Amino acid sequence: PKPPSITQIRSRFWTALSNEAAQLGQAQPRKVPIYYGVDGHSDTEISQKLLTDMHSHRLAGLIFAFPEEAGLGGTPLLEEPGMPRVAVTTQAEFHHLPVICLDMRSFIDRSLDYLASRGRRRIALLTVTGTRAEHLEHFNNAIKSRKLTTKPYWVQCVGWPETQWARNVVQLLLHDDQTTRPDGLIIMDDNIVEYATAGLVGSNVSVPGDVEVVAHCNFPWSAPSVLPIKNLGYDARQVLKLAIDCVDRERRGQSPPKLTKVPAIFEEELAAANSDMRAANEPLRGSGKRQ
């Protein structure tokens, strides 16, 4: 895993996952300790601690969050037998591990379908460095299949960790002197949502009147926004539960699925699902007989 600091591209994802792990530890006897700063260097203090805990049988399994960014290939943390492991990432494969895949294709598809349903035809995309080329290719293909429009200069990337430049990029896309402006904007990473929406405010455009915005989110820990944007993303509780289920299966001697895709979900859909779950779990009242 990588540390959830401001210099890490997954900081909001890390915050969401860490918060859910802490809440799980409070609600159940199961504990989910987090090892920050683990990478391909096995001689670091944190890597040595993790290896010691593995060898001392203090851990039931390992959940790797975006391990492709940590350079773990070929290390004992990844290769040593006898330890259940699972990877959480946006790619379909990672070495020999079962993968919980945050399905970015579904995020793109659902974003475009929503914007099209709102009558938006000119679509801009704002993302961060590290976005996979296959996802950008899928965006372009999905635009064409829906007969929407984008431009190469409407697809912009903000370097990490200077996410504050998202404000300027959005103003560049939407300022008054532009002859043609997008009427739909997809913010593909929640680490830049706050700055991107500040850019919308600075552009003096109406949201959703002039431009409709779909923003990435790791629920329930959404990025702050002063504007009425549409949050779409992944439920951190579900992601953690699926990863733990994979570990539990391996511990029982079962084979977990090699790939489990987590589709993107809108905020109101998640709220409705959680409400239904709470209602289903409430004990039936007034059904007993009077004595």
What is the structure's pLDDT at 281?
Answer: 67
Nearest-CA neighbor of 66 among 50, 87, 86, 47?
Answer: 87
Residues of the chain where predicted confidence (pLDDT) is lower than 50: 1-9, 284-291
Helix, strand, or coil here: 87? Answer: strand
**Tokens encoding 288:** 């007993």
CA–CA separation, 182 vs 214, rounded Å? 13
Helix, strand, or coil here: 54? Answer: helix
Q: Where in the chain is the domain with CATH 3.40.50.2300?
A: 11-103+236-263, 104-234
What is the structure's pLDDT at 69?
Answer: 75
Options 3.40.640.10, 3.40.50.2300, 3.10.590.10, 3.20.20.70; CATH for 11-103+236-263 is: 3.40.50.2300
pTM of the full structure: 0.87
What is the structure's pLDDT at 277?
Answer: 67
Nearest-CA neighbor of 85 among 224, 244, 235, 279?
Answer: 244
Pairing, β 184-187 against β 212-219: parallel
What is the structure's pLDDT at 75?
Answer: 83
What is the structure's pLDDT at 8?
Answer: 45
What is the structure's pLDDT at 116?
Answer: 99
| Cβ burial, residue 246 (10 Å; 0-12/13-18/19+) | buried
CA–CA separation, 263 vs 267, rounded Å? 13
CA–CA separation, 148 vs 143, rounded Å? 5
CA–CA separation, 264 vs 232, rounded Å? 6
CATH architecture of 104-234: 3-Layer(aba) Sandwich (3.40)
What is the structure's pLDDT at 283?
Answer: 62
CA–CA separation, 220 vs 16, rounded Å? 7
Asked if 127 and 9 touch (Cβ cutoff 8 Å), the reply is no
